[in-house]
Structure 1
Amino acid sequence: MAERDELLASIVETTADYREGDLAAPTPEHVERWVSQFDEHVRLPILREIDHVLKSTYFSRANTRKFLSGLFQTDSLVGEDPCKFWGGVSFLDVQGGGASQKEMLALFSKILEKRCGYSVSDCGADPHSFVYLDDASFTGNRVRQDVEGWIAKSAPKDATLHIIAIALHSNGSNYANGRIQAAAKAAGKSIKLKWWRAIALEDQLGQTNSSDVLRPTQIPEDDLVKAYVEAMTHKPRLRVPGQVGGNGIFSSDEGRQLLEQEFLKAGARIRSMCPHLNKYQRPLGNSLLETLGFGSLIVTFRNCPNNAPLALWAGDPWYPLFPRTTNSDTSMRRFMAMLAREDF
């Protein structure tokens, strides 16, 4: 089998359950159609690098279950009796948008039913602590807004809150932590925060050179990218080449730079031809801050975040590798039907 065919097959295998039951299963032809939108000489190198990256950044349903099963019995969290600990937890269901929290709670509830004989809804009649569970946190705004609302409406005067996600981005979690503590103080409450995750990704501005997200080392010779940068009030901070980040997501700095350059060029082109994108949907991913984009490469079996590069998810007329869904009701129905068929 030729290298190209092997890479196409490998990417399909890694992402086989992406939005399963909602979309047709990915095929080599699907991946080929996506990569064919890039210049011919970079297509094979892009396939090599994205294949390597997705093995670290794509979280399948099986990987998510493995994370939650490990969480269930993490000694530093639950102590010697996991069922006693989780029985005394109140699980927050306070997410203001999307279905990710409800789906993660449903998945963890299945684990509790199997291990302890009770569900999430049976827990926390007299809680010793609270849990906010989600699949990932990027900018920190979602968890910050949700938890601030809980603090204002129903949080007790003193509480321990465990914030748990598969993936956390450092800048967002630091931001959310500070804002939540400020909200608690303003409300006259004491909230002890503890953060738990499978992977923590560095994305702080001051750590650009050692970051785990896409941060270009230079502005490419591309008219659309140059026009985008020229229109920025504050010019982007460029990464000094030489590092692949603490999590080793990239195969090499050369491979990392390839994705940074090609996804930046593609993102600028997508913005020029997709009129439905708003100003915050930047070439390398959605960001309220004026940047080249958020640059995360985390994708889960549930969905692709808009904080990922446009080249991965934007559509019409671009062909996405990971078509996004924004219909949380459809997503939830599909997820629950799938969950009912699984053997825990």
Structure 2
Amino acid sequence: MSQRDDLLASIANTIQDYRDGSLPQPIPAHVERWVQQFDAAVQLPILQEIDHVLKNIYFSKEKVSQFIRGAIRTQKLTGDNAQQFWCNANFLDIQGGGDSQTDMLALFSEQLTGEFGFGIDGCGRGSGVFIYLDDGIFTGNRVRRDLEGWVRDHAPALAKVHVICIAQHSGGQYYANTKIQEVIRASGKSVDVTWWHAIVLEDRRAYSASSDVLRPTVIPNDPAVQAYVAAMQYQPTLRAAGNPGTAGLFSNDAAKILLEQEFLKAGVHIRQICPNLSVTQRPLGHMTLETLGFGSLIVTYRNCPNNAPLAFWVDEPWYPLFPRTTNAQTAVRRMFANLAAGDF
């Protein structure tokens, strides 16, 4: 096999359980179709670095299960009697959009049953400890909004909340925690929030030089990108070259720069051919603030976040590496499920 074939097979093997194995078969051909959308000269280097990165930050169902089993057994979280801790814990199901919390609750229940013989339906015997699960914290807005509303309207006067997620971006966590603490103080309640994660990634603007997300070092000499940047009200913050990040996700800085440049160019192109994308779908991923995009490369077996570069997940007429389930599609499925269950 050629080096290209080896890389296609390796990437396909890494992501084979994405969305329960729903990727077009054979998966190497799916990866090939995706990478062919880039200039021929950069296709092999992109495959080399994507293969390296996904081996570090693609979370298969087994990797997520391992993380959950580790959390269940973490004495710093549970104390000396883990079984009693989980019996007493209350699991929050309060997420305002998407299925990530519902899916994480189901997987956590499965792992808890394997460990102690009871799932989350057998928990909640205590009144003071609450568990908030999610697969990732990106900008922090989702967990912030969920817990702000819960603190105001449902939290008891004294509570301990454990936020457990796979990937935590430091800027998003800091922002969410700051806003949640403001609501806690305003509520007059005593709510302690602790954060647990499998991996923490640097995305704070002040630490751009060592960021673990895609932050270009220069604006590409590409007319479409140059025009996109010129139209921005605030010029983007560029990172200084030399450091590929603190988490060791990238093979080296040159390879990271390649992804930043090529995904930025692809993202601007995608915005041109997909005019229905909202303004917050930036070339490098969803971001409410005007930037080039969030730039996270974290993907789990259950979905690709919209905070990832558009080149990863946008569909027709672009061909995505990770076809994505949107929150709107999730809401429709829930509506029909409720109708079938007679809940309306």
In structure 2, the partner of 1:336 is none
Partners of 1:285 and 1:309 within 8 A in 2: yes
Q: Residue type of the partner of 1:239?
A: R
- Counterpart amino acid of residue 304 in structure 2: C
Task: Give, in whole Å, the separation in 1 of the partners of 2:181 and 2:151.
Answer: 10
Deviation digits for residues 115-141 of structure 1, max 9, x if unmatched?
212211221232331110111110000
Aligned-pair distance for 1:315? 1.2
Q: Distance in 1 between matches of 2:112 and 2:31?
A: 37
Distance 1:50 1:330, change over 3 A: farther
What is aligned with 1:267? 267
Matches of 2:215 and 2:189, distance apart in 1: 39
Q: In structure 1, the residue corresponding to 2:132 is in which secondary structure?
A: strand
Distance 1:331 1:303, change over 3 A: farther
Kindly state the Cα deviation for residue 85 of structure 1 after the two structures are TM-superposed. 0.9
**SS at the partner of 1:131?**
strand
Q: Assess, with a 3 A threshold, how the Cα gap between structure 1 residues 260 and 130 changes in structure 2: closer, same or farther.
A: same
SS in 2 for 1:16: coil
Aligned to 2:321: 321
Aligned to 1:280: 280
Normalised to the residue count of structure 2, the TM-score between the two structures is: 0.94
Shift in Å at residue 329 of structure 1? 6.2
- Cα distance in 1 between the residues matched to 2:293 and 2:25: 29
Correspondence 1:62 to 2:62: yes
Match of 1:71 in 2: 71
Bigger CA drift: 35-44 or 187-196? 187-196
Q: Is the 8 A contact 1:10 1:51 kept in 2?
A: yes
Q: Give the counterpart letter for 1:293 in structure 2.
A: G
Q: Could you report, residue by residue, the CA deviation over 1:148-193 in whole angstroms, capped at 9, with x for unpaired residues?
A: 1111111011111100100011111000001101011111112111
**Counterpart-to-counterpart distance in 2, 1:247 and 1:5:** 28
- Cα gap change, 1:331 to 1:82, in 2 (>3 Å): farther
Map residues 137-176 of structure 1 onto 2, 5 A cutoff. Answer: 137-176=137-176
Deviations 1:215-268 (A, max 9, x none): 000000011111111011111111110011111100000100000000000000
Q: Describe the superposition over 1:48-82 as per-residue Cα deviations: whole angstroms up to 9, x where unpaired.
A: 00000001111000000000011110111112221
Aligned to 1:104: 104
Question: 2:340: which partner in 1?
Answer: none
Q: What do residues 180-220 of structure 1 show as CA deviations (whole Å, max 9, x unaligned)?
A: 01011111112111000000000000000000000000000
Give yes or no for contact 1:16–1:25 (8 Å, CA) kept in 2: no
**2:125 alignment counterpart:** 125
Distance 1:220 1:137, change over 3 A: same
User: Which residue in the other structure is 2:43 paired with?
Assistant: 43
Q: What's the offset of the Cα at 1:22?
A: 4.4
Alpha carbons 2:137, 2:165 under 8 Å: kept = yes
Decide whether aligned partners of structure 1 residues 310 and 198 sit closer, same or farther in structure 2, where only a CA change above 3 A counts. same
Letter in 1 for 2:307: N
For 1:198, the equivalent position in structure 2 comes to: 198
Distance 2:175 2:90 in 1: 24
Share of identical aligned residues, percent? 56
Unaligned runs of 5+ in 2: 335-344
- Give the secondary-structure state (helix, strand or coil) at the position aligned to 1:263: helix
Structure 1 Cα separation of the partners of residues 199 and 247 of structure 2? 8
Count residues in correspondence. Answer: 333
What is the distance in 2 between the residues matched to 1:33 and 1:99? Answer: 28
Secondary structure of 2:191's match?
strand
Partner of 1:95: 95
Structure 1's 308 and 288: CA in aligned 2 closer, same or farther, altered over 3 A? same
How far apart in 1 are the matches of 2:4 and 2:166?
A: 31
**1:12 aligned counterpart, secondary structure:** helix
Stretch moving more, 292-301 or 126-135: 126-135
Unaligned runs of 5+ in 1: 333-344
1:342 is aligned to none
Q: Deviations over 1:77-100 (max 9, x none)?
A: 112221111111111000011111
Contact map agreement 2:284 2:292 (CA 8 A) in 1: yes
The answer (yes or no) to whether the contact 2:148–2:180 under 8 Å persists in 1 is: yes
Taking the aligned partners of 1:300 and 1:26, their CA distance within structure 2 comes to: 20
- TM-score normalised over the length of structure 1: 0.94
Name 1:19's counterpart in structure 2.
19
Instruction: In structure 1, give the amino acid aligned to 2:69.
Output: S
Map of 2:85 onto structure 1: 85
Higher alpha-carbon deviation: 185-194 or 37-46: 185-194
* Secondary structure, counterpart of 2:134 in structure 1: strand
* 4+ runs deviating over 4 angstroms: 329-332
Letter in 1 for 2:330: S
Match for 1:308: what amino acid?
A: A
